[in-house]
Amino acid sequence: MTMNQLRLLRWMKRRAENVAVALLATVFVSFILQILFRYVLGWPVGWTLEVSTLAWMWLVLWGAAFVVTERDEIRFDIVYSAVSRRTRRGFAIVTAMALIALLLVSLPATVDYVMFMKVEKASYIDIRLDYLFSVYVLFALAAIVRYAWLGFEAIRGRAPDLTDPSHLRDE
């Protein structure tokens, strides 16, 4: 990659992190407003719960798609860390192929469902649900690309990193 491409990727990653921060701030502010309206003012409002729930959904899927790195992902690695580098490569290839296949098979139905949801709106904030649920399509596409890259790297000979801190020096 050229320096300009690397700069562009770093810039895009920072913007993705900025979106995640804005979503987390939205969750926090709407949660505080919900407490304020309900318990201080005695005026329960529903929109705060809806905003915080939808912002949380977006935060989780956006973050998983564009912010979280492979090393940050949670794994059940008791077996994974105990096997050889070659076996870890095999695990990575099988996992990548399975996830890509599952996401690709489910993608048309997912897109159809999200597009169908244009007939519904969120109860309080009055935004079409297809806009709100579209983040899952972004997540699925990003996951397909990510696991295609990880599978390709494993096929080329790069084993995934160890994740168990007690074994990191063994590599």
119-150 tens-digit pLDDT: 999 999 999 999 999 999 999 999 999 999 99
Of the chain, the percentage scoring pLDDT greater than 70 comes to 92
166 versus 112: the higher-pLDDT residue is 112
Strand partners, 121: 128
Contact 129, 120 (CB under 8 A): yes
Contact 170, 119 (CB under 8 A): no
User: Domain spans of the chain?
Assistant: 1-68, 73-171
Contact 160, 85 (CB under 8 A): no
Can you say whether the dihedral through the CA atoms of 103, 104, 105, 107 is positive or negative?
A: positive
Is 170's pLDDT higher than 60?
A: no
> Which two tokens mark 102?
């599952």
pLDDT of residue 154: 93
Cα distance between residue 35 and residue 17, in whole Å: 27
Residues, the chain = 171
Contact 34, 52 (CB under 8 A): yes
Q: Determine the average pLDDT of the residues in 32-50.
A: 93
What confidence tier does 8 reach under pLDDT thresholds 50, 70, 90?
very high
What's the pTM? 0.85
Cα distance between residue 169 and residue 119, in whole Å: 55
pLDDT of residue 42: 92
